Chains A and B, each alone.
Chain A
Amino acid sequence: MLKLIYRRLLMMVVMLLGLLAIMFVVANVAPGDPARLAAGPDATRDMVETIRVERGLDKPLPQRFVIYLGSVVTGDLGTSIHTGRAVLHDLAIYFPATLELVLFSIGLAIVLGIPLGVIAAVNHNQLADHIIRIFAVSGVAMPMFWLGLMLQWYLALELNWFPLGGQLDLMSDPPTRITGMLTVDALLTGNFAIFLGAVAHLFLPALSLSFPALASIIRVNRAEMLETLNRDYITNARAQGIGPLRIVAAYALKNALLPTLAMIGLRFGWMLGGTVLVEGVFDWPGVGLYAAKAAISSDFEPIMAVTLVLGASFMLANLLIDLTYAALDPRVRAQV
């Protein structure tokens, strides 16, 4: 088991290097002159050139990449042009908000998706199954940002049930910063009113972000449950007189969860990418919004850094999923 973790962490480093290399090339073939941008609109030609040399932008690309890697390793992710702060500092501010949003979203998708998939399979071709299937198909078909806009317009603007955007009401004081995730910090500091406010703000963006994942999880889990419920070991369990609850919730579900887990991992990746859109719609102060703003001003170092943390999050999540896989399936465990 430890060997698996070790191997996977090593692989992660290699993959992150690859990711950075690709991003680095893309950033440098994209139009726009970073030296000019850094120097500001009023800079003279000489000033721009000075900055170019100062920042090493005159060196060949591979050499610059190595230099960049060196600074990344020491924790220096560069400086953001549009915030004027160290990128690492910005990430410390914005990443917890994204993490909170994404964890809440994937949690929502899992907690709703698995039971709904099971309910649909158990009621195969009956009313409940049809309703859940229609729901799932619509979820796969609907673009995330469009769903976000619709939810925002109807539930927030028309019905006023939820706040339009942001992380907290302007009136309320944020809790002491511990993890940077408002809901968690509010709970840790025992501030229940703030917690409720934070959850209310979190709800619509999380729903938008989780809906496609929820739909896929339902679909995969339903299909897997249907197949598993037809397996021979289920027939044997029924022949022993074992009751339906144990058969569905343990004997079948534990087997059906294995492919569902793979889908959860995949969808988590999509979700991380989706934060750029959803954070934009709901004005959620996370790295997605941060990266979007940076992209508009051709501010590459923040984009690289955001890619790095999102990539690492995705890989860590998949490591976690593989470990869960091994925990669920003794045959997988036997192989590692």
Chain B
Amino acid sequence: MSDPILSIRDMRLEFDTFDGVYKAIDGVSLNVAPGEALGLVGETGCGKSVLTRAAFGLVPSPPARITSGEVLFGGRDLLSLREKQLRSIRGAQVAMIFQDPMTYLNPVFKVGTQLVDAIIAQQKGAIARRAARDLALEMLDKVHLPNPQRQFDSYPHELSGGMRQRVLIAMALAAKPKLLIADEPTTALDVTVQAQILDLIAELVSELGLSVIMISHDLGVVAQVCNRVAVMYAGQIVEDAPVADIFDNPKHPYTLGLLKAIPHPLRPVEHLAGIPGSLPNLYTPPTGCRFADRCSHAVPVCTDGKPPLMDLGAGHRVACTLYRKEHVDA
């Protein structure tokens, strides 16, 4: 197997808040192989966005504080880079698209201006405005936006949500980045538009040979796009496996609950019917398994210490005491 394109190792991140220190990310390790599409799932507030943004310096500090870890990308540890160096990686090599296309475009600048600004920044100024404009129009065409020339001169409020998301995708992929982080790119859209945008992303990903992290709380979306899935719970990765394994042979009780909670693969998870209770208080997180008090399989040892992510073979890893060797043998 070739070296991962992105490798997050033992990342910890805390927020200094008025109420105390909120331990949002706790020892997360994650690899993305070249050409791989990794799904990152978990219920709302578990830290998916914070994890992927913090890796590229996009979480403001303060209040955030990264207390340990490495983010290896392109042979460098991003956490040791200065903002200026990070900036030259963002946009150019790592692209991000976000959840709500309504709020991620600047309302007072023309779509075209924002595209051209982004392209010039991605190319670090090594492109003339004219050429950037041509590239922007080409990208708008590539994302199948009808009448690109007109949309180029429009303001965001003149575009529908689906059109705006296409603009944001065009912007993100203009520099032919290596890695795409798609943070719930379809959640805010109508169901019909969702499918179109997902198709578009899948099309561009294969065309550009991108590696992808697709964040979603919708396992249906993940099944459609990804070949591997990492399940996140309360700031930790609890299971990490090829997509077929997650659906056919889920190991972690939380993953089981997530799957049970989806009666229909295209309906987003809002109520985790399969899992009573809610996320633990991360100001004073449990010392043992963070899922223990919601887990129907919990045994006394579960609260004893954080279960490590164990390799079950065939690229399937799980962090659950139930799969400890001694436990399984017993």
Contact = CB atoms under 8 A, between A and B. Distances in A.
Interface centre among A238, A254, A329 (most CB of B within 10 A): A238
Given A232-B100, A236-B98, A255 B90 contact: no
A239 B105 contact: no
Interface in A205-232: 230-232
Contacts of B118: 237, 240-242
A330 B121 contact: no
Contact of B121 (A125, A241, A250): A241
Contact of A232 (B103, B155, B157): B103
Contact of A331 (B89, B98, B157): B157
Contact of A328 (B105, B108, B157): B108
A233 B58 CA distance: 12
Interface string B73-114: 000000000000001111110011010100111111100001
A334 B124 CA distance: 34
A70 B226 CA distance: 80
Contacts of B90: 238-241
Contacts of A239: 56, 58, 90-91, 95-96, 172
A158 to B, nearest CB: 44
B107 A246 contact: no
Q: Chain A contact residues: over half helix, strand or loop, or mixed?
A: helix
Contacts of A328: 108
Given A241-B88, A242-B118, A246-B117, A231 B103 contact: yes
Given A232-B100, A239-B58, A254 B121 contact: no
B122 interface: yes
A331 B107 contact: yes
A44 interface: no
Contacts of B171: 236, 240
B109 A242 contact: no
B320 interface: no
B103 A233 contact: yes
- Name the residue in A232, A233, A236, A242 with the highest tally of chain B Cβ atoms < 10 Å from its Cβ: A236
A253 to B, nearest CB: 10
B122 A240 contact: yes
Interface string B208-250: 0000000000000000000000000000000000000000000
A243 interface: yes
A235 interface: yes
Nearest to B113: A250
A235 B91 contact: no
B155 A330 contact: yes
A251 interface: yes
Interface string B154-173: 01011000000000100110
Interface in A301-336: 328-331, 334
Contacts of B155: 330-331
B106 A255 contact: yes
Contacts of A330: 107-108, 155, 157
B108 A255 contact: yes
Contacts of A251: 106, 109
Contacts of A233: 103-107
Nearest to A331: B157
Contact of A255 (B89, B107, B122): B107
B215 to A, nearest CB: 14
Given A242-B121, A243-B87, A246-B117, A237 B106 contact: yes
A241 B108 contact: no
A241 B175 CA distance: 11
Interface in B23-80: 53, 56, 58, 60, 62
Contacts of A241: 87-92, 118, 121-122, 124
Contacts of A238: 58, 87, 90
B108 A329 contact: yes
Interface centre among A232, A250, A331 (most CB of B within 10 A): A232
A235 B122 contact: no
Nearest to B102: A232
A235 B121 contact: no
- Name which of B62, B95, B121 has the most chain A CB atoms within 10 A of its CB: B121
Contact of A235 (B89, B104, B114, B158): B104
A334 B108 CA distance: 12
A125 B63 CA distance: 12
Contacts of B104: 232-233, 235-236
Interface string A270-307: 00000000000000000000000000000000000000
Contacts of A231: 103
A232 B95 CA distance: 15
A114 B117 CA distance: 24
Of the listed residues A230, A236, A239, A242, the one surrounded by the most CB atoms of chain B closer than 10 A to its CB is: A239
Contacts of B60: 230
Interface in B115-130: 117-118, 121-122, 124
A298 to B, nearest CB: 51
21 contacts: A125-B62, A231-B103, A232-B100, A233-B104, A233-B105, A235-B58, A235-B98, A236-B96, A237-B114, A238-B87, A239-B56, A240-B121, A240-B122, A241-B89, A241-B91, A241-B118, A242-B117, A254-B109, A255-B107, A329-B107, A330-B108
Interface of B: 53, 56, 58, 60, 62, 87-92, 95-96, 98, 100, 103-109, 114, 117-118, 121-122, 124, 155, 157-158, 168, 171-172
Given A232-B100, A240-B121, A241-B92, 7 more contacts: A232-B103, A235-B58, A241-B118, A243-B87, A254-B108, A330-B155, A331-B155
Interface of A: 125, 230-233, 235-243, 246, 250-251, 254-255, 328-331, 334
Q: Which 10 A-B pairs have the closest CB atoms?
A: A241-B91, A240-B118, A232-B103, A330-B155, A240-B91, A233-B106, A236-B104, A242-B121, A241-B121, A239-B96
